[in-house]
Amino acid sequence: MVSALKKAFFKNPKKVIPQVMATMIAAIGYLGTGLVRGWASPGVPSLVESNQFNLTDSDKAWITSLPPLCAFFGSLVAGPCLQFLGRRLTLIIISIPFTMGFMVLGCAVFSPSIGVVYAGRILSSLANGAATPSSQIYISECSSPRIRGALGSITALWLALGILIAYVVGAFLPWYALAWVESGFPILLLIGMLFMPETPGWLLSKGRKDDAQNSLQKLRGRHTDVTLELQRIEDTITNGAEKQQQMPTLFNKPVLVPFGLTLALMWFQQFSGVNAVLFYTVSIFDEAGGSVNRHLATIIVGLVQFLSTILSIILIDKAGRRILLLISAFIMAFAQASLGSFFYIKETRGQEAASAIGWLPLTSLVIFIAAFSIGFNNIPFLIMGEILPSRFRALLGPLSSSFNLIMTFTVVRTFPIMADSVGKYGVFWFYMACCIVAVFFVYFCLPETKGKSLEEIEKMFGGGLACQDMENPKPIAEVERAPRLILGRYDSEDEDEDDGRLAPTIA
């Protein structure tokens, strides 16, 4: 692992370290998202136990499920801000309501109204919805091709870390104190971004070439010649503007097929049940009545997610996307089946019979989270950025992310409703069935993209500049399905790129 990280990040430290620093700071936006999501698991049970508010089941469900719904609207606000204010300034501005949302949530302890809790959750959730695309775009535009894949995956790692922090702190502090602790992290984002450069691509799009060169120089190191890279970014922006004026119809197979695959991956990601597990972890262990302390079990789940995400970053360009997704979906199905079986035994044979296998809920959730983290956690978003046609990526990417948020809200909001109607075992078996369908979908429908440039991927679906016949794309059945057992990269490049002699292409 250490040697892999050295090879990825420190082949040319003077050039890479500034990019790593920019990534670590911008990714705090994802860490904040993890804090928002992670708060619900220890926070809502703590809120109920405090007896400060007369909470109904509907209140508990809404307080838990608000983040993805509000994040959907927050992501819509981020688009115009990123375009007109820039990536850096957008992240700075977002950090303010992010901090205020956590503080309002914590200050609800001094209020007799549950409305203050709702206000804090809504404000912090709107901010996290705006922060995640802003962070991802900033990181992508600051990174060189050789390490863009690894740096882009750090957002998933920071998200898992945010959830873990919320689980650990929530095990020792009440709900309001947890919110106050979480309010400090967006402040780090604000302070850190004050010292970070704007992305060269955005500066060039505004005609600020000198500022763009200074920014790129800071990101690549003082001794790197960035002239060719700057020219290549500028050419990409110019070509993109020309393509936009000659944009073909959206409703062609080379566009609809990759867009459909992307939406399907987002659907399977959420209907694996992952956010039902993450948002209700403490409640699940409460009802399971297992032999392990509920907070300790929750921390173990969060730690496993964090470590498994690290493993995914290392494996993603070695094993390939398809094989990791297949393994992920298969093992998740097994884990959901086991968890459902536990609750079925508890309901049909009683607590005494369930106590004999009290270890099963924790074991099942650990296996489930590990499997999810190595595959369906970040690969759907990676594939989204790879297979969507370049001409429509700015439109279809946000639409895909918004669809993901709506599915997240649907799963989190319906989990308690489904549990009441069909029992928890029925819900987990439903998620199991979705994971089984995901295995067949990935095997028969999803092409491998490892080791291919973005242009090669576009040609697979019948698109790209090299394909003149937009109406007759290559059938999906002819697209390569077997994973290639060679090391791959996100963009084709030469080893000389490390010295600044070749330039990355902004995707």
Q: Where are the beta strands (DSSP E) in 388-454?
A: none
* Structure-token pair, residue 70: 């509000």
Q: Does residue 475 surpass a pLDDT of 80? A: no
Angle made by CA atoms 326, 332, 338, in degrees to the nearest 5: 140
> What spatial distance separates the first Cα and last Cα of the chain, rounded to whole Å?
28
Distance from C-alpha of 460 to C-alpha of 446, rounded to nearest angstrom:
12
Q: What's domain 14-196's superfamily in CATH?
A: MFS general substrate transporter like domains (1.20.1250.20)
* Model pLDDT, residue 12: 67
Question: Going by C-beta distance under 8 Å and a sequence separation of 6 or more, which residues neighbour residue 71?
Answer: 33, 125, 126, 128, 129, 132, 405
Taking the model in full, what pTM does it have? Answer: 0.76
What average pLDDT does this structure show over 122-143? 86
| Start and end residues for every CATH 1.20.1250.20 domain found in the chain | 14-196, 247-483
pLDDT-derived band at 118, boundaries 50, 70, 90:
very high
Packing angle of the helix pair 28-50, 13-26 (nearest 10 deg): 30
Q: Where are the beta strands (DSSP E) in 48-185?
A: none
Of 57 and 455, the structure prediction assigns the larger pLDDT to 57
pLDDT-derived band at 330, boundaries 50, 70, 90:
very high
Residue positions counted in the chain: 507
Q: Does residue 484 surpass a pLDDT of 90? A: no
Q: Does residue 20 surpass a pLDDT of 80? A: yes
Q: Does residue 50 surpass a pLDDT of 80? A: yes
- Helices (H), strands (E): how many in the chain? 22, 0
Q: Say how far residue 5 (Cα) sits from the centre of its chain.
A: 21
* Model pLDDT, residue 459: 76
Distance from C-alpha of 277 to C-alpha of 286, rounded to nearest angstrom:
13
* Model pLDDT, residue 69: 87
pLDDT-derived band at 390, boundaries 50, 70, 90:
low
* Model pLDDT, residue 368: 93
Distance from C-alpha of 170 to C-alpha of 177, rounded to nearest angstrom:
9
* Model pLDDT, residue 100: 95
Of 6 and 57, the structure prediction assigns the larger pLDDT to 57
Q: Does residue 442 surpass a pLDDT of 50? A: yes
Q: How many CB atoms neighbour CB 3 within 10 A? A: 7
Q: Does residue 301 surpass a pLDDT of 90? A: no
Q: Does residue 65 surpass a pLDDT of 70? A: yes
Give the pLDDT confidence of 216-252 residue by residue, as tens digits: 888 887 777 777 877 777 776 666 555 555 555 667 8
CA distances from 15 to 108, 148, 490 (A): 46, 13, 19
Q: 324-345: buried (b, 16+ CB within 10 Å) or exposed (e) per residue?
A: bbbbbbbbbbbbbbbbbbbbbb
* Model pLDDT, residue 161: 92
* Model pLDDT, residue 504: 33
Burial of 426 (0-12, 13-18, 19+ CB in 10 A): middle
Question: Going by C-beta distance under 8 Å and a sequence separation of 6 or more, which residues neighbour residue 227?
Answer: none
Q: Can you give the C-alpha Rg of the chain in angstroms?
A: 23
Question: Going by C-beta distance under 8 Å and a sequence separation of 6 or more, which residues neighbour residue 50?
Answer: 174, 175
Domain 247-483 matching CATH 3.40.470.10: the answer reads no
Of 500 and 146, the structure prediction assigns the larger pLDDT to 146
Distance from C-alpha of 481 to C-alpha of 445, rounded to nearest angstrom:
8
What average pLDDT does this structure show over 127-148? 81
The answer to whether residues 178 and 170 touch, using CB atoms and an 8 Å cutoff, is yes
The answer to whether residues 109 and 55 touch, using CB atoms and an 8 Å cutoff, is no
- Residue indicated by tokens 């809920």: 361
Distance from C-alpha of 370 to C-alpha of 499, rounded to nearest angstrom:
37
Give the pLDDT confidence of 172-186 residue by residue, as tens digits: 999 999 999 999 999
Angle made by CA atoms 415, 418, 422, in degrees to the nearest 5: 140
What average pLDDT does this structure show over 447-468? 64
* Model pLDDT, residue 186: 94
Lowest mean pLDDT: which of 43-52, 161-170, 295-304, 320-329? 295-304
Q: Does residue 478 surpass a pLDDT of 60? A: no
